[in-house]
Structure 1
Amino acid sequence: MNETELIAALSALSESSTNRKILVGIGDDAAAWRPSRSRLSVISTDALIEGVHFTRALGNEAIGHRAMAANLSDLAAMGARPVLCTIALGVPRDELHEGVLEMYAAGARLAREYNLTIVGGDVARSPVLMLCITVVGEVRPTRMKRRAGAKPGDLIATTGALGASRAGLDVSQGRVHLRDGLQDVALRAHCFPQPRLAMGAWLAASQSVHAMTDLSDGLSTDVLHMARSSGRRAILERVPVSSSALAAASAQGMDATEYVLAAGEDYELLVAIAPRAFRYLNSRFTKRFGSGLECVGRFEAGEGGAIVGSSGEVPLKASGWDHLRRGDSAGS
């Protein structure tokens, strides 16, 4: 299969769009769409590189799904609705094109699930497998959320318990074996995460939500990102540990809290909420989504962060993912 044939096969997987905003899709030199007059366009790009973000042991479908999920999660964090995306692929010389098609198809399936239209991309030769996805979404100006915006006294919450994806990574690499169905839960969380788009849009509609981001780099790292962007100090008072993370940490003789603080790729949302509104907002959230928000701490005046332990507050260090830190790579 040559480049032209591969591109044609990838285009067929994208299917034609019924999105009226898309004026020109796949097949021309560039795509064109008509932005909404009443909404802001938001854009995000993620590059995923073999050996850095994933290994081939993950499987083609999981690689494609995770790549798309990571980008959609960025839109969720802004409260945005997906509109369109482009996918650029770097393909090694000896790569089997069947595997590339499986990977692309998995990303395209997730895109369709959230009404995201693939409008183009690129294919190039590269030393290792690489995916670079750019997504565009739309959000009302009054509803767009950013990392910045947390106020002193705001409660810090997540949209769910954390650490399942790290447990799935440990399972997939043979570091641990879990029982009672937790193994499947962990693998599903790691290989096929679900971006919290509906939750993000719902939370963004509330004026009591002052800041929001997604938990892609780990709770310790992402809460410090939000604190720094907002010019506040973050105090973590508890860490919501998923059942699979608790089991995986225990099996490896690790502290569950530290395990989750350093875990990444959960793709839950991290939210700063006005304290007086939290109880009511959480009640409505629970009715809407079937589970409640996890309150993990608060913001206060100052800078940096701390975590409350048995001996009081200790400085919070960013122990999650850092692309440029030596040693952080796929499987680390």
Structure 2
Amino acid sequence: MDEFSFIRSIAPSAYQQSSIIKGIGDDAAVFRPSGQDVVTAVDTMVDGVHFSLETMKPYHIGYRALAANISDLAAMGSVPAFYLVSVVVPPEWNSTGLEELYRGMKDLAAQYRMDVIGGDTVSGSELSVSITVIGYVDKDKGRYRSDARAGDVVFVTGTLGDSRAGLECLLKGSTVNDEEKTFLIHRHQMPEPRASFAQALAGVERLALNDISDGMANEANEIAEASEVDIHLEKEQIPFTPTVKEFFSDYYDEWMLAGGEDFELMGTVSAEEWPEVIKAADRVGLKVSKVGIVKEKQKDNPMVYLHEQGTKRVVTKTGYTHLTKKGE
């Protein structure tokens, strides 16, 4: 299949977004927002760096690549609308593999009524997928890392460490029973971005949000730094899948903090509006857990601490922790 035939094959017969004026088929796409702020993000995934063909089929690669981008929009409180895709295709790939990659994206996009409105395909030595996503959010209602305040509740959605455990199952196998193994592998290959939950939070006045792509430790530090606050996490409150602790007991602490790629949401909200967050999660059938609190920073630099059985550890972006001195 030549490039032009392929473009025709992925062009939608009808667009779901009413703001689209011109989609695929011209030099660029045109859309007209109606009084909302436009949110955009881009992410690139490369074979051998962000994924492996040993653990993912082309369908999973496409699905997961778009999921990562939708998760970025969710962290901004945005409603997903459009995506554009550029793929570097290695010589050993055939049209079937490329079609499957796009099918993975298309199936996920359909859940959010997203339209593909452009992109490019070129030949190269390694498979690379670059996606730009565009979404809308009501004026001045974007969610920013810099909006955390002292006294806020810190929360996360879902369970953490599942994706890393799923990768371990794929790479090395495990004694995890088939049902749980399937669940963990699914969490790795086909993560569910929390865009519906983010939209359900629209009525909450102030939120700081971040998506957990690089691990909870990293995201907590990003919020702390952007907001100039300290974040205190309670280890016993961090949600995890029991199977992960049972079968990967040597690693689950690390994966819970720094496993990454769960694409859950981490955020902070005032104690007064915390009940609204719980209600929003209930409306979309999602688990949400309080995992800590925000405090005024006590040192020159914002810090993240992990509390466990009377001890307090400093948590860096990598997830590595060390004990603080007594009394700190």
Does TM, normalized by the shorter one, top 0.5?
yes
Instruction: Tell me the equivalent position of 1:227.
Output: 224
Q: 1:257 aligns with which of 249, 253, 256?
A: 253
Partner of 2:8: 8
**Deviation per CA, 1:196-243, whole angstroms, max 9, x where unpaired?**
111001123201x42011111110111111111111111111221123
Q: How does 1:80-91 map to 2 (within 5 A)?
A: 80-91=78-89
Change (3 A) 1:313 1:227: same
Give 1:85 deviation, angstroms.
1.2
8 Å CA contact retained: 2:149, 2:227:
yes
Aligned to 2:186: 188
Structure 1 distance, partners of 2:178, 2:126, is 37
Name the counterpart of 1:326: none
Matching residue of 1:115: 113
Alpha-carbon distance in 1 for matches of 2:6, 2:281: 45
Tell me, in whole angstroms, the C-alpha distance in 1 between the residues paired with 2:65 and 2:277.
30
Residues 1-332 of structure 1 correspond to what in structure 2 (within 5 A)?
1-11=1-11, 14-37=12-35, 39-57=36-54, 58-179=56-177, 181-207=179-205, 209-238=206-235, 239-250=238-249, 253-254=250-251, 256-278=252-274, 280-302=275-297, 303-319=302-318
Matched-pair identity in %: 31
- Report the residue type matching 2:39 in the other structure: V
Structure 1 residues 283, 320: CA separation in 2 closer, same or farther (over 3 Å shift)? Answer: closer
Deviation sequence 1:165-211 (CA, Å, 0-9, x none): 1111111112433116211110111111111111001123201x420
Give the number of aligned pairs. Answer: 313
Q: Is the 8 A contact 1:166 1:190 kept in 2?
A: yes
| Structure 1 stretch displaced more, 72-81 or 15-24 | 15-24
- Note the C-alpha offset of 1:83: 1.4
Unaligned residue ranges in structure 2 (runs of 5+): 321-328
Alpha-carbon distance, 1:311 to partner: 4.5
> Is the 2:254–2:319 contact (alpha carbons within 8 Å) kept by the matching residues of 1?
no
Residue pair 1:163, 1:244 contacting (<8 A) in 2 also: no
SS in 1 for 2:290: strand
- Write the distance in 2 (CA, Å) between the matches of 1:304 and 1:6: 50
Check whether the contact 1:285–1:292 (CA below 8 A) recurs between aligned residues: no
Letter in 2 for 1:68: L
Question: What secondary structure is seen at the aligned counterpart in 2 of 1:166?
Answer: helix
Query: Structure 1 residues 248, 43: closer, same or farther in 2, change over 3 A?
Result: farther
2 CA distance for matches of 1:240 and 1:287?
A: 16
SS in 2 for 1:272: strand
Task: Please give the root-mean-square deviation of Cα atoms over the aligned residues, in Å.
Answer: 1.8
Query: Post-superposition shift, 1:104?
Result: 0.8
> 1:247: Cα distance to partner?
3.2
TM-score (normalised: structure 2)? 0.90
Whether the 8 Å CA contact 1:245–1:260 is kept in 2: the answer is: no
Residues 6 and 286 of structure 1: CA distance in aligned 2, closer, same or farther (over 3 Å): closer
